[in-house]
Amino acid sequence: MPLTMMKKGEKMVIRKVGGKSEVKQFLESLGFVAGSAVSVISDIGGNLIVNVKDSRVAIGKDMASKIMV
C-alpha cells in the first residue's frame, strides 16, 4: 500500500520507491530506500510528516503516493 494510507503512529517497512528516476533519486536522498523503517508522525491535509532513518521529513501527498510500504 502507498505511504499515504498509513495511520498516524503506525510503523512499517518501505518495500518499493516508484516514479521517474529523478523522483526516485530525490526520495532516496531523503532516506526513503527499500528496507528502511518509516512511521507517520502527522497527517495535515494529506501532507505527511514522517520519521525515516531517525529524521523527520515533510512530504507531499503526490510524493508519498510513490512510496510503497
Number of domains composing the chain: 1
Q: Measured between alpha carbons, how far is 2 from 15 in angstroms, rounded to an integer?
A: 10
- Rounded to two decimals, the pTM is 0.87
Q: Within 10 Å of residue 34's Cβ, how many Cβ atoms?
A: 12
Q: Which domain holds residue 35?
A: 3-68
6-58 pLDDT per residue, tens? 989 999 999 999 989 999 999 999 999 999 999 999 988 878 999 998 899 99
- HSE-CB for 5 with a 13 A CA cutoff: 9
Q: Count other C-beta atoms under 10 Å from residue 3's C-beta.
A: 23
For the domain that residue 38 is a member of, what is the CATH number? 2.30.30.90
